Amino acid sequence: MPVILCYGDSNTWGYDPDASAASPVPVRHPAGVRWTGVMASALGRGWEVVGAGQNGRTTVFEDPHHPGRNGRTALPVFLDTFKPLDLVILMLGTNDLKTIFHAPPGEIAAGTASLIRLIQQSESGPGGTAPRVLLVCPPQAGPFDHLPELSEKFDQGHARSLRLPQAYRAVADQLGCDFLNTQPLITVSPVDGLHFDAAQHRLLGEAVAGAVRDLNLL
């Protein structure tokens, strides 16, 4: 049975923008609504899908306001915990767009490259090999014109996010991993310009399932 680790941020965790807007704490979509659950259903029996999303997770940046979000620090734990892994699906970078990090798209892509190398140099795959990697470029963030607080928190985040696909594809080509660009496929909720409603989770889950089938892991 192939095992897939989905390593990401709040959109992999399943953050519900509508419910969270009316709640003092973040609210998750139900498991079957999250893109990881949709993907698992679409793939059917014979697959194990592990969702490992964390609110605020970055590629490699330390957030002084939210400790413990550095994706490079946590990744080895997940690789070791759930091995042997046939595939790691990596979708990070949205939080790297925060103003506090001052990161241009190339630097954000370099962060994903660091994570991919870590996976490729691990022994977390079958028989002590390295798992395959599917790099997923997140959708465009924003625009935030109607959200002044987030506009400051993600200064020029919308424009920078539009440049991520090219930078991510270059990393995937350089490191020999598979690639999926979500920007033509899904959009973020206008409620916060960052997260997915249920319909977009379904679209993403089905698209990723198609990409996984193409990898012929079975």
What does pLDDT average to over the chain? Answer: 97
* CB within 8 Å of 99: residues ≥ 6 apart: 152, 153, 154, 155, 157
Task: Return the pLDDT at 218.
Answer: 73
CA distances from 124 to 78, 105, 194, 206, 216 (A): 10, 29, 31, 26, 19
For the chain, helix (H) and strand (E) counts, in that order, are 9, 5
Task: Return the pLDDT at 71.
Answer: 98
Place of tokens 């400790």: 67
User: What value, to the nearest 5°, has the Cα angle with vertex 71 and ends 175 and 3?
Assistant: 70
pLDDT digits (tens, 9 = 90+) for 174-214: 999 999 999 999 999 999 999 999 999 999 999 999 999 99
State what percent of residues in the chain have pLDDT above 70: 100
The confidence band for 154, taking pLDDT boundaries of 50, 70 and 90, is very high
Mean pLDDT of 149-174: 97
CATH topology of domain 3-213: Rossmann fold (3.40.50)
pLDDT digits (tens, 9 = 90+) for 6-16: 999 999 999 99
- Longest CA–CA separation in the chain, Å: 51
Mean pLDDT of 133-156: 95
The H-or-E segment that residue 178 falls in is: strand 178-181
- Nearest by Cα to 57 from 48, 47, 68: 68
Domain map (residue ranges) of the chain: 3-213
Sign of the dihedral through C-alpha 52, 57, 62, 68:
negative
CA distances from 109 to 138, 165, 195 (A): 11, 9, 20
Task: Return the pLDDT at 86.
Answer: 98
